[in-house]
Each structure stands twice: as structure tokens, then as C-alpha cells.
Amino acid sequence: MTDDEMPEGEAVRPFAVPITGKFAEAAAGVLKSYREKAENGFPDGAPAEGSPFMTDIETMTAMAEPEATARRSLHSMLIDIVGLSFDTALDHVRSLEHDIVRDPAPVWSPLVSARAVLESCLFLEYLIDPSISCGLRLARCAGLWRKDTDHAAKAARVFGPEEHAQAAHMDAYVTRALAEAKVVERRNAKGTLVGYEVDGDTAPLDFSITERARTALPSWIPMPYGLLSGAAHSRPWMTDRARMAGMDTGSGLVGEAATVMTALMVAMASLEMSLRAWQGYFGCDLGETLTELEGHFRHGQLYLLAMAHAGES
């Protein structure tokens, strides 16, 4: 029987095996190389003429003052948040690279780090989705800004009166800035703020991460968010698998190569999603980078699959 044959009726589960040092080093190397390609793959130059970014700028500039300045200010904050989100995603990927190779081998932490990468990238994609209007983009930004301000206000109550005063000042500033930009509040029947409207386009205060992941991620990855949440929230239906794997040897929780592979796929898919959104919104040519990333992903998958299938995981 050759290496690529399996006995009749035997399930092929090449990654359902414990993590070993050789597999971990290889997986971390694949992820590091992918992250570096994504991080350094942006071309120099300004956004392209005719891109959604330039269309947004032209739309806002054509408005009367002071609305035009107020909206450009809100849009500038949106772009700043997008950059921060991508940098945060890269930070979590670097953390994942180191976590994979630690001793003892990780159990569920790779999935938690991958979840953080995904959420940062979904935040980015939600704001610069090239398919939406300028009004909807600003309404989404307004909702997230208000939600973030509310979170900061709740945290300030714990820290003391000075921080509480700063949070109140920020709340007033946000309210004034959105009013100047003609961002209209949307309230439910009870008078509770539920979102914003800009030029007829509406957005909630926040977005459904699960739904966004289902529609925004590349088609080659299955829906991962429920799996990641099971690990991040320590749900027994998920975490008991690691205990069962270690019962025979009395080694406690045992991490599997499958967990590492899932984390890698989510992190890679998230970075690809970010680059595609960036390319679509700013009109920059990331075709060569995306092609390299696709090839690296496929090569890495085959390399790690062969290692696990040969019993070297």
C-alpha cells in the first residue's frame, strides 16, 4: 500500500492527531510567510481615480458647508479605524505564529487568536465594503462609533470621576459631530437608539459578526465562527474533545493538528478578505499579491497534509 492509499472503509482524518514539534514549526512557518506577503503586498501610490474611495471624497466635497467638512472628518476617522483594524489583525497573527510552537503544545488558544484576527478583518471589511454607497458607509461608521463610545462610558464608571467626565465629554462630542454631518438617529418605538441614517441609507449600531463572516469570507473556507466561538467561550461541547483525546494517556488536554490547521485557514482567509476589500475600495492593484497568497495557501495546505498523512504531525 502506497502512502496515498487508505484501507477499505477507513475514514481519512489526517489532522486528527496530536501536535508535535515538527508539525508546529512547519505550520508556524507557513503562516509567517503568508502574513509577510499580505503585510508587504500593498503597492505605492494614491487611490485610483474612479475608485469607490475617490467617489466618496467627491460626493462629500460637493456638499455645502459645514456638512461637507463634517462628513469628511467622519470619513477620515473611518479610514484611520480601517488601518488600525488591519494592524491589530497582523498583531494577532504574529501571536498565533508563536503560540503554535510553544511547549506544551497549545490546545484551544490558536482558535481564540484566529477569532481575534477574523473579527479585526471583518471590522475593516464592514467599513470599506466597495459595494455600498457613501451614505451607508458613514451610517455604519456612525453606529460603530456610538457603540464604541457607549462601551468606553461603561468602562469609565469603574475607573473614577475623572475618566467618567472624559467619557461624558466624548459622548457630547460624538453627538455634536454626527449632527453636524447630518447623520440622523434611528430610534425604536420605545425611543431607544438603534442605528443611524445617512441620505436614506440605514445601519444598526453594530453588525452581526456571524452573518458577516458567512458572506464576506472567501468561498474556500467553511463557516468557521461557531467553531471559534465554542473555543473562545470554553463551551463543553467543544472543549471536552481535548480531554477525551488525552484520557488514554492521562496527559490531560491534548491539542490536535486539526485545531492548528483550522486556525491557519481562518487567519489566512481573513487577511485575504481584507486585501480584497482594500483593493476594491481604493482601486489599487493587489492582483499579484493575491495570486501569490493563493499559491502559498495551496502549497502550504498540501505540505502540511503530506506531513500529517505520513505520520510526521
Confidence (pLDDT) at 11: 42
- Cα–Cα distance for residue pair 145/147, rounded to 1 Å: 5
Confidence (pLDDT) at 225: 62
* pLDDT tens for the 313 residues of the chain, in order: 333 333 343 343 445 677 888 999 999 999 999 999 999 988 888 899 999 999 999 999 999 999 999 999 999 999 999 999 999 999 999 999 999 999 988 888 899 999 999 999 999 999 999 999 999 999 999 999 999 998 888 888 888 788 878 888 888 999 999 999 999 999 999 999 999 999 999 999 998 888 888 888 887 776 666 667 666 666 665 556 655 555 565 556 677 888 899 899 999 999 999 999 999 999 999 999 999 999 999 999 888 887 766 655 4
48 phi and psi angles, rounded to 5 deg: -75, 145
CA of 147: how far to CAs of 6, 76, 207, 247, 294, in Å? 53, 18, 11, 45, 36
- Cα–Cα distance for residue pair 94/101, rounded to 1 Å: 12
Closest to 126 (Cα-Cα) out of 110, 147, 96:
147
- Cα–Cα distance for residue pair 160/137, rounded to 1 Å: 35
Confidence (pLDDT) at 239: 59
